[in-house]
Amino acid sequence: MNATSGREQAAHARNTPEAGLAAGSFPVSACLPQAIWLTPLAVVAGAVASGGIIFRPDYLLALAMAALLSLAWVGVWSTIAGVNWHAPLVAWQNWTQGAPLGMLPYAKPDSDAAYASQRIGQLVAWLRQELLPCYGNILAFGVTALVVAVVLAAALGSPAVLTAIVAVCFAQIAVIACRGNGHANGIFEGAVVVGLPMLLGAATFAPVALDVLLFSVAAAVASAGIRDRASRVRDMGYALATLVAIATRQPVGAFALAVIWAPQLALGLQRSGHGWLAAAISAFAIVRSAVIHSGAAF
């Protein structure tokens, strides 16, 4: 099969609804998670929930760096797990264009070296003609986001480095699980977009408490349910968040979460799900901070 047919298959893969997003057909913004605006909010909520934000003189700078770091790793996530990488691979499997590289010294025409020279030449042609024209923008975006994430994580310290590594690992696991079709698992996306940013915000100013850790998991689960319009998954997230508040002796926080969750549960609301989640995250953070500063024991 020639290269033209390979390109036709790739184009078909990009235009198939099940194929996901491809950077050549859509802008970079289309590959980003729908609720990316929740990421900096989760960082701020984690910082407030930690109770230690007011004790750091440079808290505004640290908070801004943490928010930017979380957005950077969401950019890396979008590049790895939010793009349909199956499409260009279809073209590569059938690619025959490209002149071989210069023959290596002492390499015979039908030797392994000659074959390697031919395939490398085809790879260069595929990169120039197929991959970079279609996916060059998302690749450049991903590399830039990775560089920013590395620099900011190093500046913020070991907790930031750890959370950034976990975010990138989640992206790699997600792309393997979905086989590169651009439809990553919602739980992993919720963790990268909401859960880990909240942990980063908390860890930037104080050691992460168990209830903050569990609440970040609950928020990630709820976010996954909202993205996938899976009411049961969303309700599992809210139920876990409410139980966390009850178990850690935060009745006001549990009441606030229940008030936010009840209309969605009773009326089966699907719209503005991320807005409800933002309210729940903010309520938990504010109540927890108020309890800490009031001297109550957790």
Query: What does the alpha-carbon distance between residue 206 and residue 298 come to, in Å, rounded to a whole number?
Result: 15
Of 47, 41, 54, 69, the residue nearest 202 (C-alpha): 47
When comparing pLDDT for 226 and 21, which is higher?
A: 226
Q: Three-state DSSP class for 22?
A: coil
pLDDT at 279: 95
Distances (CA, A) of 66 to 30, 36, 213, 259, 282: 24, 15, 17, 30, 17
From the number of C-beta atoms within 10 Å of its C-beta (0-12, 13-18, 19+), residue 235 rates as middle
Say how many residues make up the chain. Answer: 298
* pLDDT band for position 129 (cuts 50, 70, 90): low
Q: Is the pLDDT of residue 92 over 70?
A: no
Q: Is the pLDDT of residue 7 over 80?
A: no
* pLDDT band for position 224 (cuts 50, 70, 90): very high
Cα-flanking dihedrals φ and ψ of residue 85, to 5°? -80, -5
Average pLDDT, the chain: 82
The label of the residue with tokens 């930037």 reads 204
The tens digit of pLDDT for each residue in 238-251 reads: 999 999 999 988 89
The tens digit of pLDDT for each residue in 276-298 reads: 999 999 999 999 998 887 764 44
Q: Is the pLDDT of residue 55 over 90?
A: no
Q: Is the pLDDT of residue 12 over 50?
A: no
- The reported pTM is 0.81
Helix, strand, coil share (%) of the chain residues, nearest 5: 75, 0, 25
Question: In this structure, which long-range contacts are made by residues 147-156, counting pairs with CB atoms below 8 Å and at least 24 apart in sequence?
Answer: 148/68, 148/69, 148/72, 148/75, 149/69, 149/72, 149/73, 149/75, 149/76, 152/65, 152/66, 152/68, 152/69, 152/72, 153/69, 155/65, 156/62, 156/65, 156/66, 156/69, 156/204
pLDDT at 54: 79
* pLDDT band for position 5 (cuts 50, 70, 90): very low
Least confident interval from 4-8, 132-136, 146-150: 4-8
Tokens encoding 295: 């001297």
The tens digit of pLDDT for each residue in 263-273 reads: 888 877 777 78
Q: Is the pLDDT of residue 254 over 80?
A: yes
* pLDDT band for position 115 (cuts 50, 70, 90): low
Quick one: average pLDDT of 195-210?
94
pLDDT at 32: 84
Q: Three-state DSSP class for 290?
A: helix
The tens digit of pLDDT for each residue in 70-83 reads: 999 999 999 898 88
Element (H, E) at 38: helix 38-50
pLDDT at 26: 46
